[in-house]
Chain A
Amino acid sequence: MSQPKPYWNPYAAGVLLGLVLLATFLVAGQGLGASAFPKRTIAFVAHEVAPAWTDANPELSAYTADGANPLRHWLVIEVIAVLLGGFLGAVISGRFKPTVERGPNISVRRRLVFAFSGGIIMGFAAALARGCTSGQALSGGAMLATGSWIFMMAVFAGGYAFAYVVRRQWI
């Protein structure tokens, strides 16, 4: 792993991703996801700390109904495996690099503040929308779910609408 290899052609990566998604449909009867992991972790911890509050919560109660363990779920295992896949993929191709990705005009500290704030917004948004780019736009989009297509359009709209505001961070 001397020189990092270039990324795949995006269409080739897309075909691989699509085949993985299709296999997930056939095997699991559902799509891929990412934001289920934080949701279910929080449901688990909340249920340990405040069971009554969690069971009455409009969002979290769905994960803990009838004594179910929110962490014993396909999507939770899948997310842990995503970390492994991403890690090994990066190491094999020489792209593993402890660093902070940022544009030329922003300090590391400010970039991390932006990353954290963006994360908070996305955590809130993915809970409100019942899914994120993986679970809604990608998986629901391929299943032609109406709400997932609305979500997808809204994500691009939000991104382009706000891009000018945070441009100093990237270009």
Chain B
Amino acid sequence: MNGVPFPLTFGSGETFLLTAIVLGFLFGLALERGGFANARKLAAQFYLYDMTVFKVMFTAILVAMVGLYTLAGVGLVDLGRMWINPTYLWGQAIGGFLLGIGFITSGLCPGTSLVSAASGRLDGLVTFLGIFVGTFVFAVAVDVFPWLDRLYEGASLGVSTLPTVLGLPVALVVLAVVVMAGLAFVGAEKVERIFQARYGTIDLTPEPTRRTPRIKFALAGSLVGVVVVSLAWKATPPAPPAVRPTSIAPLTLAEQLIARTPDLLVLDLRTARPDGDMGIPGAVAVDSAGAVELLGRTNAGVRVVLVTADSTPGMVPAGWPADRHYLVLAGGYSAWTTEVLTPVEPADASLAEQGRVARQRPLAAFFSGAAVQSASAAAPPPVLPVGGGAKKKRAGGC
């Protein structure tokens, strides 16, 4: 999209979904190899005689973090196109603490319960079933108790990363994490040995590594740190991340336009419009620069529908305000034409198709001016929440 190769942009088609099979398979394999199918080995982390959880997890974090930020530093990864976990302080602090309690109670976490179940452990399967119950309980509870919803949504910082929060260069934060993890590994090995004298070791734990590999590891770690510093030092803090729009079906948009759903802004981003083009009523035809200017005059939370010719863009262009709710017309204007303006009624429609046709008929009449057009229906359609003035636009970012 902007010449930066990663992350790859597949859209959400089958090819993209297929990559999940390979990577998920390797994820499961790595967890099993590390011993994460065994609840006793995981639980031992909290009694200090087997620190495998900490060691595997932090080694993985170091490798992925150094790799990601190094590649971003040399311009091969666009962090702005990545989905980075947004920060909700209350949910993450309290949810994390509860998850820790659940972790030591069941001996597994959600990911490892899968691997545990897959390797024959009944306790893994039972834990996984419990997770379903707990997830459902939350979904109901967050609906019933407003205070829980406030907790869930509360203290939101949007997408926030440690370098921006601490105001430090990325490379320095990366290096600090590498150094701290390295020291913690040395400490973990020492603590582990002390408590193993008391509680023994878990079956199948590999022989403890002797001096040489640890020194090698420390050397490799510092080398990597130096490389990162040199590479990423010039990198600026991550740009405000692009917003990933959700999609809206043509029929849904048509119905919402008729219902004059408030706070809905339709932007027609097509670069070329054929003669006799009907457009979408109420839509504003703009180019990207015009859109930014127009969006600057809308309030936060406005729902913005993006209309392209026939593709479904995966990302909102960089530089657009992040706190609008972006929707993409699925299939673009060509889908609007085939589904809303000139729908084809199948000859012998199934029950589901009949329902769809019943939905399409009045819409086609309304928007393409065919058949049953009535005076009220022809009234100029709705909603352009521009201006307002009352609410001040929040400055960009989150």
Contacts and interface: CB of A to CB of B under 8 A. Distances in A.
A128 B151 contact: yes
Given A21-B64, A150-B93, A160-B46, A119 B131 contact: yes
A41 B160 CA distance: 29
Contacts of A137: 57, 96
Interface in A49-90: 53, 56-60, 65-68, 72, 74-75, 77-90
Contact of B92 (A58, A114, A150, A158): A150
Contact of A170 (B47, B114, B207, B249): B47
A156 B51 CA distance: 12
Contacts of A122: 98-99, 102-103, 106, 109-110, 127, 130-131, 134
Interface in B277-329: 327
Contact of B38 (A101, A131, A149): A101
Interface stretch (B28-36, B335-343, B362-370): B28-36
A20 B26 CA distance: 7
A15 interface: yes
Contacts of A103: 40
Given A57-B142, A120-B134, A84 B83 contact: no
Nearest to A62: B246
A154 B94 contact: yes
B162 A149 contact: yes
B121 A144 contact: no
Contacts of A101: 38-40, 107, 116, 121, 123
A158 B97 contact: yes
Given A19-B63, A150-B89, A123 B100 contact: no
Contacts of B163: 144
B132 A16 contact: no
A32 B23 contact: yes
Contacts of B59: 10-11, 13-15, 17-18
Contacts of A157: 96-97, 100
B65 A144 contact: yes
A136 B114 contact: no
Contacts of B9: 29
A137 B52 CA distance: 15
A20 B52 CA distance: 18
A90 B37 CA distance: 9
Q: Tell me which of B60, B88, B114, B207 has the highest count of chain A C-beta atoms within 10 A of its own C-beta.
A: B60
A2 interface: no
Contacts of A140: 84-85
Nearest to A103: B40
Interface in B12-50: 12, 16-35, 37-41, 43-47
A61 to B, nearest CB: 10
B127 A161 contact: no
B383 interface: no
B87 interface: yes
Nearest to A77: B20
Contacts of B177: 144
Given A119-B130, A151-B95, A14 B22 contact: no
5 contacts: A8-B35, A28-B8, A130-B92, A146-B165, A158-B104
Interface of B: 6-9, 12, 16-35, 37-41, 43-47, 51-52, 55-65, 67-69, 71, 77, 81-89, 91-124, 126-139, 141-143, 148-149, 151-153, 157, 159-163, 165, 170, 173-174, 177, 185, 199, 204-207, 209, 213, 217, 246-249, 252, 327, 330
